[in-house]
Amino acid sequence: MTKILVLANNDVGLYKFRKELLHELMRLNHIVYISLPNGVFVEKLIEIGCKYIETPIDRRGTNPIRDLKLLKKYYEIIKKIKPDVILTYTIKPNIYGGIASRITKTPYLVNITGLGTAIESAGLLQKVLLKLYKTSLKNADCIFFQNKENKDLFSKKDIVNNNSRMLPGSGVNINEFEYQDYPIDDKTIEFLYIGRIMKDKGVNELFDAAAIIKENYSNVHFNLIGDFEEDYKDKVQNLEKRGIVKYHGMQKDVRPFITKSHAIILPSYHEGTSNVLLEAASTGRPIIASNVAGCRETFNEGISGFGFKVKDPHDLVKVLLRFIKLPYENKKAMGIAGRKKMIKDYSRFIVIDAYIEEINKVLHDKD
């Protein structure tokens, strides 16, 4: 039996977006090890058959000493387990897991789930990270990208060549996020934001736009789901007191909230491919999102969603008003169009098939 090691930075994403892949790998008689920090979904990952290795990661830190400790930890894990293939997700596992894979001469597949703030913003840190990426990806057997802009940047910087391929994000489980009838009541409009409460997700623009809309539309409600990644707690509490937003905290299951909503909003500055938007569209809800890579691909403009200028609350207001004034049947039709798009282009089975194909190539080459 072959051994596959998965390096990731958190349990939530691995379980919610990749459990179907892990299931399939184990069904094909691979032993699956997962290396990531402890969290509430680790038990669920163990329950489905994964072998867990606790690996602390400072996700947002830039301390090189801590990062060298992570590289050392990955090296030790690889030497001990001797995996046949390594799968890496997110920046630090991609970089330090990639370097450890190169050092140990272990085949590895990398998933660029997004570039992150440091790479999106020009500066010294961007140059350092791109150099690290160039080092870590040099011997990768396959580099998966979730949007064309990310791939083009890595190609332009001569980080990747012909060992890469595109994925439709992490895909969406169209059975788990099945179509739900559109809300019958159109007199009250429920908008929903799902994501970390942080600047780069565009929450400042969302709050500004919500305040403007609420001045004239008391029947429009803005619902928020997600953890506070930055110091927004006081601001959100103040907005709640003023009746501008309703904060629902972190939710293990977002499906009931999506079902009750008329549209989902994501004003993010950058994404790999937004899982939130895929899940909402699969449920049959229109998308209102910033016109950036990782968001714009998830909907067809005017058909299953509306885009707006990133970091522009006034343009967001215009789009929200456009949606609010749409006839009920048009809103419902947008949701149905989004569901069809997900089935055709974004099913998670597309992602699973791509991974199995690349893993089989690696295993065939080793024989």
Q: Give the CATH number of the domain where residue 210 resides.
A: 3.40.50.2000
End-to-end CA distance of the chain: 13
Note the pLDDT of residue 305: 98
In a domain? residue 248: yes
Please, are residues 152 and 158 in contact by the beta-carbon 8 Å criterion? no
Note the pLDDT of residue 118: 60
* In a shared domain, residues 132 and 247: no
* In a shared domain, residues 300 and 218: yes
* In a shared domain, residues 221 and 305: yes
In a domain? residue 328: yes
* In a shared domain, residues 162 and 249: no
Q: Which spans in the chain are helix H?
A: 11-27, 42-47, 64-81, 91-92, 98-104, 116-120, 124-137, 148-156, 203-216, 233-241, 255-260, 275-283, 313-324, 328-345, 348-366
Average pLDDT per 10 consecutive residues for the chain, totaling 367 residues: 96 94 97 96 96 89 77 97 97 95 97 76 76 92 93 88 90 97 92 96 97 96 93 94 96 95 97 95 98 96 98 98 97 98 96 97 83
Note the pLDDT of residue 1: 86
Domain that residue 358 falls in: 3-169+348-366
Note the pLDDT of residue 61: 63
Beta strands in 170-234 (DSSP E): 189-194, 220-225
Note the pLDDT of residue 209: 98
In a domain? residue 179: no
* In a shared domain, residues 8 and 51: yes
* In a shared domain, residues 162 and 227: no
Contacts of residue 115, Cβ cutoff 8 Å, sequence gap at least 6: 150, 153, 270, 272
* In a shared domain, residues 243 and 134: no
Contacts of residue 132, Cβ cutoff 8 Å, sequence gap at least 6: 95, 99
In a domain? residue 178: no
In a domain? residue 183: no
In a domain? residue 302: yes
* In a shared domain, residues 198 and 70: no
* In a shared domain, residues 9 and 139: yes
How far CA 329 is from CA of 182, 284, 305, 321, 323, in Å, comes to 10, 13, 14, 16, 12
* In a shared domain, residues 193 and 159: no
In a domain? residue 176: no
Contacts of residue 207, Cβ cutoff 8 Å, sequence gap at least 6: 235, 239, 244, 245
Note the pLDDT of residue 361: 95
* In a shared domain, residues 340 and 352: no
Residue pLDDT, tens place only, 295-331: 999 999 999 999 999 999 999 999 999 999 999 999 9
Note the pLDDT of residue 117: 64
**pTM score of the predicted model:** 0.90
Helix (DSSP H) and strand (DSSP E) numbers for the chain = 15, 13
* In a shared domain, residues 77 and 154: yes
Total count of domains within the chain = 2
In a domain? residue 245: yes
